[in-house]
């Protein structure tokens, strides 16, 4: 990565007078009732117009997820379909939209692969993550392309207290899985930092059933991760900082389709694997110009690199994408009732690939404005964005929300939002299988939310929504993508959080009806009904918890001829604090050893489901010595 690009903010420091709260954002990342992603500013979760779910570091430690996809399965309205266990590529469907129609950020930076649209969430090491925020519903006014279904933002770990706080974690589990991580955080009144490194390894599972004999081995996975966060208050009104997350390693996988040999005109066996690297580097300047005006300038560089090789041949492919970005946002408090967000974005995507694309770079620049009015009996939010893209021209999106507080404990929100997704480089320029005349996919969404504090121990958040997709990109009979599809997605989702006799309960349910408007068929790999229930309690030093997830059946293809069965999984977890420095964790996932699949593949004329992990356990020790 080019570090010189990230030094520029230090030369552009504005003058200012008073900063409201030093390290305001770092502090907000520790709190469960704050939100940053919805408007790129710190706000109370209940004040945001976006349906949202937040996982803090405390939640992550309590739930003990294996990876980010495992954590996302708990979000109502979010479905995750992986093709074979840990390290495999997940399909993430937010409110029935496909993976490429939802935006993934790391510390404010886009990490999506600009060739395929995938974000490789499976490679983001959970030990290096401070917080995960999930927004459900379009946020294209704030973020532009890709945010049709929603936004997932990952924040790297942060320092929180003065002094030095070291940590060490070791874990061992099923399939020869090892987890190792080491970290150090700390600081003083002006500076905070966190440095962490992890190494995860597993022998994996055989991801396919009937297939070539070469696919009968277990598919191993190795991930090395490094994170760094640094923030410094130059004065009481200016803060600067930088964040780094780097994940790299090796992932073996099966190719049940084989490799087509042009000499023999037959499919031959493979033992493929990929060397991957997903990284994000950003720097920022945060300043309060006066009591009315706060500004933030961010510079970022992300890389998504993958080299695929084969143990049985000399075959080798490379797909590397790079993105540089600049984001500038200004938050203006006009008076006690009116506030304004003004901003501009610029980013450039570049490709370095073993496949010769007709174009290997493009830029996008945008400006956006959002106004919020707070009256005594209601509030409104109105936003507008204009994007100018080097490839497809301009795109305008707008959104509006009306919030009506029925009483101090109940709010009703009615919103409309537009979104769009720019075609990927594969869609536009992949040799012989692309269409450079593609237009962006567009969406219109309507939503009604109800947020209620039913009593002191019970919180309910529910949404009814409809999303209409137009100019959706699908591959036609000529094996080239076309803007011919349209879809309609109706849905309902709800979350109920309760404190029951000392037990912390979090129940999420979702019902969707995602249909192709031309054929009436259900969209592929979208289950109509999902539910997730987490139940936890702390008994002094002993913590106990359980997770139950239910997913109904779905279809693996657009014609609805290949069925995927529904399933339910149960997981148990526990923790034991030996003393103030040492904690033990033990969990068992898929306790009932359920055999299920979320994706199919074809082999020898038949359809087979990719394997997912059966019963698996994990034991860990975390040491946080006091210095």
pLDDT tens, 233-251?
999 999 999 999 999 999 9
CA–CA gap between residue 435 and residue 567 (Å, rounded): 39
Rounded to the nearest 10 degrees, how much is the dihedral formed by the CA atoms of 577, 580, 582, 584?
10
Are the C-beta atoms of residues 402 and 413 closer than 8 Å to each other? yes
CA–CA gap between residue 164 and residue 245 (Å, rounded): 21
User: pLDDT band for position 3 (50/70/90)?
Assistant: very low
Region for residue 291 given its phi and psi (left: phi exceeds 0; alpha: psi -120 to 50; beta: otherwise) = alpha
- % of the chain residues with pLDDT over 90: 75
Burial class (CB within 10 angstroms; exposed 0-12, middle 13-18, buried 19+) of 519: exposed
Contacts of residues 382-386 at CB distance under 8 Å and 24 or more positions apart, as own/partner, are 383/141, 383/142, 383/341, 384/141, 385/140, 385/141, 385/142, 385/144
pLDDT tens digits, 308-326: 998 888 889 999 999 999 9
What pLDDT shows up at residue 209? 74
Place of tokens 């075609």: 423
pLDDT tens digits, 368-422: 999 999 999 999 999 999 999 998 889 999 999 999 999 999 999 999 999 999 9
pLDDT tens digits, 411-451: 999 999 999 999 999 999 998 889 999 999 999 999 999 99
The distance from CA 187 to its chain's CA centroid, rounded to whole angstroms, is: 29
What pLDDT shows up at residue 22? 64
pLDDT tens digits, 187-196: 988 999 999 9
Phi and psi at 328, nearest 5°, equal: -130, 125
What pLDDT shows up at residue 567? 95
Element (H, E) at 70: helix 68-72
Phi and psi at 393, nearest 5°, equal: 90, -140
Place of tokens 């913590």: 543
What pLDDT shows up at residue 611? 83
| 214: pLDDT strictly greater than 70 | no
CA–CA gap between residue 404 and residue 376 (Å, rounded): 10
Mean pLDDT of the region 255-278 = 76
DSSP tag of 66: S
| 489: pLDDT strictly greater than 90 | yes
pLDDT tens digits, 194-209: 999 999 999 999 888 7
Tokens (6 digits) for 414: 């009615």
What pLDDT shows up at residue 603? 67
> How many CB atoms are located within 10 Å of the residue 578 CB?
11
pLDDT tens digits, 87-131: 888 999 999 999 999 999 999 999 999 998 888 999 999 999 999
Tokens (6 digits) for 138: 């379009």
- Highest mean pLDDT: which range of 4-13, 39-48, 213-222: 39-48
CA–CA gap between residue 173 and residue 69 (Å, rounded): 19
What pLDDT shows up at residue 2? 46
Mean pLDDT of the region 295-299 = 97
User: pLDDT band for position 212 (50/70/90)?
Assistant: low
- Judged by DSSP in three states, 143 sits in helix
Among 137, 129, 106, 104, smallest CA distance to 118 is for 104
- Indicate the fold that domain 4-623 takes in CATH: Maltoporin; Chain A (2.40.170)
Task: Spell out the domain ranges in the chain.
Answer: 4-623
Mean pLDDT of the region 349-365 = 93
What pLDDT shows up at residue 258? 67
| 350: pLDDT strictly greater than 60 | yes
The distance from CA 159 to its chain's CA centroid, rounded to whole angstroms, is: 22
CA–CA gap between residue 376 and residue 394 (Å, rounded): 38
Are the C-beta atoms of residues 472 and 485 closer than 8 Å to each other? yes
CA–CA gap between residue 61 and residue 57 (Å, rounded): 6
The distance from CA 49 to its chain's CA centroid, rounded to whole angstroms, is: 19
| 505: pLDDT strictly greater than 50 | yes
pLDDT tens digits, 571-624: 999 999 999 999 999 999 999 999 988 887 766 666 777 888 899 999 999 999
The dihedral sign for the CA sequence 333, 156, 58, 148: positive
Are the C-beta atoms of residues 495 and 528 closer than 8 Å to each other? no
User: pLDDT band for position 21 (50/70/90)?
Assistant: low
Among 371, 359, 442, 373, smallest CA distance to 147 is for 442
Among 301, 312, 191, smallest CA distance to 240 is for 191
- Judged by DSSP in three states, 100 sits in helix
| 552: pLDDT strictly greater than 80 | yes
- Mean pLDDT over the full length of the chain: 91
| 528: pLDDT strictly greater than 80 | yes
């Amino acid at each position: 990565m080019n570090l010189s690009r990230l030094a520029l903010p230090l030369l552009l420091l504005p003058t200012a007078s008073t900063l409201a709260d030093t390290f305001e954002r770092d502090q907000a990342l520790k709190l469960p009732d704050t939100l940053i992603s919805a408007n790129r500013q710190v706000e109370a979760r209940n004040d945001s117009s976006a349906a949202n779910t937040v996982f803090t570091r405390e939640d992550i430690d309590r739930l003990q997820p294996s990876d980010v996809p495992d954590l996302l399965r708990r979000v109502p309205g979010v479905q995750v379909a992986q093709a074979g266990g840990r390290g495999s590529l997940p399909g993430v469907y937010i409110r029935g939209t496909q993976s490429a129609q939802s935006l993934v950020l790391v510390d404010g930076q886009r990490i999506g692969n600009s060739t395929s649209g995938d974000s490789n969430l499976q490679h983001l090491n959970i030990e290096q993550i401070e917080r995960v925020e999930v927004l459900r519903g379009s946020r294209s006014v704030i973020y532009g392309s890709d945010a049709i279904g929603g936004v997932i933002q990952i924040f790297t770990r942060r320092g929180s207290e003065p002094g030095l706080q070291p940590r060490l974690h070791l874990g061992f589990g099923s399939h020869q899985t090892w987890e190792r991580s080491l970290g150090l955080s700390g600081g003083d009144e002006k500076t905070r930092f966190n440095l962490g490194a992890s190494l995860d390894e597993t022998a994996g599972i055989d991801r396919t059933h009937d297939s070539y004999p070469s696919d009968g081995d277990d598919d191993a996975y190795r991930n090395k991760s490094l994170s760094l966060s640094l923030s410094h208050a130059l004065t009481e009104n200016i803060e600067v900082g930088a964040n780094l997350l780097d994940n790299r390693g090796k992932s073996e996988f099966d190719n049940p389709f084989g490799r087509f040999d042009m000499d023999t005109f037959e499919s031959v066996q493979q033992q493929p694997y990929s060397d991957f690297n997903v990284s994000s580097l950003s720097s920022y300047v945060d300043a309060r110009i006066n009591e009315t005006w706060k500004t933030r300038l961010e510079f970022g560089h992300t890389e998504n690199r993958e080299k695929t090789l084969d143990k049985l041949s000399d075959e080798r492919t490379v797909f590397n994408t790079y993105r540089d970005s600049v984001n500038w946002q200004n938050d203006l408090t006009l008076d006690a009732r009116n506030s304004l967000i003004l901003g501009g974005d610029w980013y450039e995507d570049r490709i370095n690939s073993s496949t010769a694309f007709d174009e290997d770079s493009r830029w996008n620049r945008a400006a956006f404005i959002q106004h919020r009015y707070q009256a005594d009996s209601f509030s409104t939010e109105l936003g507008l964005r204009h994007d100018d893209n080097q490839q497809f021209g301009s795109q305008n999106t707008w959104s509006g929300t009306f919030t009506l507080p029925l009483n101090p404990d109940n709010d009703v929100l009615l919103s409309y939002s537009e979104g769009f997704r720019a075609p990927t480089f594969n869609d536009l320029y992949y040799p012989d299988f692309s269409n450079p005349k593609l237009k962006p996919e567009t969406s219109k969404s309507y939503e009604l939310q109800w947020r209620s504090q039913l009593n002191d121990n019970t919180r309910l958040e529910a949404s009814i929504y409809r999303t209409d997709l137009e100019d959706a990109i699908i591959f036609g009979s000529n094996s080239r993508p076309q803007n011919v599809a349209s879809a309609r997605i109706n849905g309902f989702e709800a979350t109920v959080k309760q404190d029951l006799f000392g037990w912390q309960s979090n129940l999420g349910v979702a019902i969707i009806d995602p249909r192709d408007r031309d054929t009436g068929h259900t969209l592929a790999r979208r289950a109509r009904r999902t539910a997730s229930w987490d139940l936890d309690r702390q008994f002094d030093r002993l913590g106990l918890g359980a997770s139950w997830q239910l997913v109904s059946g779905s279809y693996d293809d657009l014609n609805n001829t290949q069925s995927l069965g529904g399933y339910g999984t149960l997981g148990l977890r526990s923790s034991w604090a030996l003393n103030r420095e040492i904690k033990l964790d033990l969990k068992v996932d898929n306790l009932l050893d359920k055999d299920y699949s979320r994706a199919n593949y074809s082999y020898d004329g038949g359809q087979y489901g990719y394997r997912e992990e059966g019963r698996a356990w994990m034991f860990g020790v975390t040491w946080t010595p006091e210095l």
